[in-house]
A = this chain, B = another copy of it.
């Protein structure tokens, strides 16, 4: 088993997602709160200029700028593309990173609760998912490892183990007490797990557990770029609840309903404000049983 030597906790990858920004500022002031004996840990604000502007980003979504080819392309030079290169140098580089783990903290306006997103399936991540499901049953575990040959464009993919924490619902540009507490608890659970993992001192974990695996993203109904309707009330706020074949999916402004014709699935990021300008309606996931991998 490969020991974890260094962890980075990143907030403010999107400048209007305040919970992670608040926690990073808190932990920069009081590093003892994130210190664990068996590894070093730092907290970092990823997109300070966007946060200052109180926007998700200045020129482009920072969390889509971390493909190897884009990081190597000096002609991609807007603010976030430049900041991505600086972050890759500081936290990475992608193929031999200084950070074994990056925990990237995000908020959603959709009703996702505390969600732990894991980019790859490995002994570390499958055991982490098992630990979190056990110690924080309100958390959802979401694997984004459907096609391991496809490279992730996310910031936390700089590290060997990419971890995203998404907590919502929270409107952009403010702090809710409940959401902040959930994000703090979930992040500290990841640190505790990492320490126990390093020390070979994990509590007994289940051999398998329920989780989700991202499959695809649905767009809102449009014609000539104009929106034709909204997410149906049957789906709105029901993140990670089952959507069955034939269930209502979209409610059109003309009064018609669009039904889901695919197989049973689990929507999340439902009617997410950050994705609305791209006319995205929701992401879909399969419910899966994760077998815990051992080193």
Contacts and interface: CB of A to CB of B under 8 A. Distances in A.
Interface of A: 22, 26, 54, 109, 169, 171-178, 180, 227, 230-233, 236, 251, 253, 271-273, 276-277
Contacts of A26: 253
Q: Which 10 A-B pairs have the closest CB atoms?
A: A109-B171, A171-B273, A174-B276, A177-B230, A174-B273, A175-B230, A171-B171, A177-B251, A177-B233, A173-B273
A174 B271 contact: yes
A173 B109 CA distance: 11
A177 B273 contact: no
Given A173-B273, A173-B276, 17 more contacts: A22-B253, A54-B277, A109-B174, A169-B171, A171-B171, A172-B273, A173-B277, A174-B273, A174-B276, A176-B231, A176-B236, A176-B271, A177-B232, A177-B233, A178-B233, A178-B236, A180-B230
Contacts of A176: 230-231, 236, 271
A232 B169 CA distance: 16
A176 B270 CA distance: 11
Is the contact region of chain A dominated by helix, strand, or loop, or is it mixed?
Answer: loop
Nearest to A110: B171
Contacts of A173: 273, 276-277
25 contacts: A109-B171, A109-B174, A169-B171, A171-B171, A171-B172, A172-B273, A173-B276, A173-B277, A174-B271, A174-B272, A174-B273, A174-B276, A175-B230, A176-B230, A176-B231, A176-B236, A176-B271, A177-B230, A177-B231, A177-B232, A177-B233, A177-B236, A178-B233, A178-B236, A180-B230
